Chains A and B, each alone.
Chain A
């Protein structure tokens, strides 16, 4: 049986996959707690219109995806503030616009194969340039996440209280929005636009089932995300499966296992509590 590591493309896939797994889990934790779980969906779908635009006009589709993603992310923030109690509709509005635009523009794209590679990703076919891009992105996102950890925590927990306490909510949200948009558009190239949103939410949901603090929620989410990515790549290599889909299904399996553990743990705790009473 050939070793997975003897192939350069698999080495790159593992490196890029693990780096993305870490930053997507970190960003996802904030997203989920800001009640914006579907933002990854909206951005990844919107990024497709940027990809189509790039393919149509002859520039790098990743650049198009990044640009459209940033515009979409800020549009979500702006609409969210205007809609007040119905702020969650902002995600749906931007997602619909992105899908509509991508649908129309993709009709003019000559190479359907190029466009489809962004839909489902092609982690095993990424270039050296894309690998370097992901490494740089991962360093920037991780650095920003660590430095802005307490600001992001405060904003996720209570945005109004954070603003009252003097946290520069607008600036932190803007930085976070740009980082998310760039990550989603670049990750769409590797694991696919349809899968990136799942990776942003499912590992966090799994982590929340067993974590005992915000910090451990992030650590567990990163663990699930990395393990699913490595496991997905290995399984897809040996079993001939699609890597993106395998990665997501593994993270869903983690979610089910962690949820079951969490259920029994909370059940045991409530039994002890009722006995104490």
Chain B
């Protein structure tokens, strides 16, 4: 598989104290990778590094084989946390906002052409917001604003989409819709997605990779589809998390057995499920969410 994101022995700190240390991971083409970790662990810092906003103190970050600093955002789409909040106070139509992402295609000090307007229309259709093209963004709901922000990102035809907690402050229905759209893009258009999130229960079924960030280090877990959600489902069904494995603190299923994963003092967000310890009763649960991945993605629209 083609490596889209390659982070090699990367360390970073705003001061001498490092926030991220010797981080290594790769994301391949078509991956839907989720980055999880406690607050303040450096998730958003890592996003800034991946976007080339900050430069690593040591190590390297390559996007599609090129140093991230050299590509100047080319091919990267970025959807920030509460992206719509900033937009809400801005007196612009959805069409104008989506058009802003056409900058690279239009060029410096030039004007948009018909093809750029068509691209905007296509992006609005992709997120199901073509009816709102003339609406002021401030008049839309939080979920709709976030979809417009996604359309803005998509209109630039990104090879890789980086999303920083895009579901924060968005109602449940809009989160579902957003995830369906991302799923469609991931499956149908092979857009590589890297999403920082705390909403692992919702996002889990759509992801195929989980990167757990803790104490400055990143642990990559290549997991079968939707394991995390299975773990949660299991937890809810049985009232215990006996099969939850904490990848961060290395509590295996045996050590973890008998205590609730949420009370795992070392890390509360990195609860992950170990498939190999499961019996048939649990295994059948894995099939259900996996269908998300195998679905042709048409339901997204």
Contacts and interface: CB of A to CB of B under 8 A. Distances in A.
A163 B73 contact: yes
A161 interface: yes
Contacts of A264: none
Interface in A149-192: 150-151, 153-154, 156-158, 160-168
A215 interface: yes
A28 to B, nearest CB: 13
Interface string B87-109: 10011110011011101101011
B97 A147 contact: no
A166 B90 contact: no
B73 A168 contact: no
B100 A166 contact: no
Contacts of A161: 78, 80, 100-101
A166 B73 contact: yes
A242 interface: no
A166 B100 CA distance: 12
Nearest to B87: A157
- Most chain B CB inside 10 Å of its own CB: which residue of A147, A158, A214: A158
Nearest to A215: B96
A150 B112 contact: yes
State which size class the interface on B falls in: 20 to 34
Given A151-B103, A165-B104, A157 B76 contact: no
A215 B90 CA distance: 12
A15 interface: no
State which size class the interface on A falls in: 20 to 34
A165 B73 CA distance: 5
A269 to B, nearest CB: 8
A48 interface: no
Interface in A114-170: 147-148, 150-151, 153-154, 156-158, 160-168
A208 B91 contact: yes
Nearest to B72: A166
B53 A212 contact: no
A157 B91 contact: no
B109 A148 contact: yes
B90 A33 contact: yes
Interface in B107-155: 108-109, 111-112, 134, 136
Given A163-B73, A166-B74, A212 B103 contact: no
B51 interface: yes
Contact of A157 (B80, B97, B108, B109): B97
A213 interface: yes
17 contacts: A147-B109, A150-B99, A150-B111, A150-B112, A153-B92, A157-B86, A157-B87, A157-B90, A157-B92, A160-B53, A160-B80, A161-B78, A162-B100, A165-B104, A167-B103, A168-B108, A213-B93
Given A164-B53, A211-B91, A213-B91, 8 more contacts: A150-B111, A157-B92, A161-B100, A164-B78, A166-B103, A208-B91, A214-B91, A214-B92
- Report the 6 A-B pairs with minimum CB-CB distance, sorted nearest first: A164-B73, A214-B92, A147-B109, A154-B100, A213-B93, A217-B91
Interface of A: 33, 147-148, 150-151, 153-154, 156-158, 160-168, 208, 211-215, 217
Interface of B: 51-53, 72-74, 76, 78, 80, 86-87, 90-93, 96-97, 99-101, 103-104, 106, 108-109, 111-112, 134, 136, 156
